[in-house]
Amino acid sequence: MENREQRLTASGVAKYEERLEFLKTVRRLEIAEQIKVARAFGDISENAEYDEAKNEQARIEREIMNIENMLRVAVIIDEDSIDTHTVSIGGTIRVLDVEFDEELEYTIVGPAEADGENKISNESPVGKALLGHTAGDTVDVATPGGVLKFRILDIHK
C-alpha cells in the first residue's frame, strides 16, 4: 500500500484500530497454534496443513502492516467542520435517483472506508460527481453502467 494520505472518519479509524488489535492478539495466537499443531504432524516439507498455516500467517502479517501504514498517514475528517451546504468528504447526502424516482442516502468517505453500499468513496464516479454540489442541484454521473441523474435533496452530518 502506498503511503498517501488516507482520509478517515473517527468511526473508520476506530474500526481499523479494532481490527488491528484483533489481528495482533487473537489471530496471531491462533495461527501460531495452527503452525505448532501442523509441525507435530512430522515432515514439514510435504505438510499441507503447515503450508496453509504459514500462508495464512503471511496474509495476516501483510494485513497488519497495511492497516498500520494506513493509520500512520490517516487524516481524520473533523465532523464539526463538515460543510452541510456543499457536498464534501464526511457529509451524508440524500439524493433522488431521477430515473427510478428512488431516494438514496450516501456518506462520502475516503476509499479505505467505502463499503459500496451507503458509504461511497470520494474517488468513485458517484462520489466525484456529487462533490462540490449543493442541495437542489441535479448531477449527471457517468458510471460504467451508463449515466445516472441524481437530484441532491439534503446534505447533513
Q: Which of 76, 101, 118 represents a domain boundary (last residue)?
A: 76
DSSP 133: -
Amino acid 42: pLDDT: 77
- Tens-of-pLDDT digits for all 157 residues of the chain? 456 788 899 989 999 999 999 999 999 999 999 999 988 887 777 788 899 999 999 999 999 999 999 999 999 998 888 889 999 999 999 999 999 999 999 999 999 999 878 999 999 999 999 999 999 999 999 988 899 999 999 999 8
Looking at the structure, tell me whether residues 99 and 116 fall in a common domain.
yes
Residue 1 lies in a domain: no
Query: Which residue, among 105, 126, 107, 125, has the nearest Cα to 115 in the 3D structure?
Result: 107
Amino acid 116: pLDDT: 72
Burial 109-147 (b: 16+ CB within 10 A, else e): bbebbbeeeebbbbebbbbebbbebebeeebebeeeeee
Total structural domains in the chain? 2
Range of the domain at 97: 82-156
Amino acid 69: pLDDT: 95
Looking at the structure, tell me whether residues 61 and 101 fall in a common domain.
no
Amino acid 1: pLDDT: 44
Query: Which residue, among 109, 138, 153, has the nearest Cα to 10 in the 3D structure?
Result: 109
Amino acid 3: pLDDT: 60
Amino acid 21: pLDDT: 98
Q: Which of 76, 92, 114 represents a domain boundary (last residue)?
A: 76
Amino acid 48: pLDDT: 87
Q: Which of 76, 109, 129 represents a domain boundary (last residue)?
A: 76
pTM of the full structure: 0.76
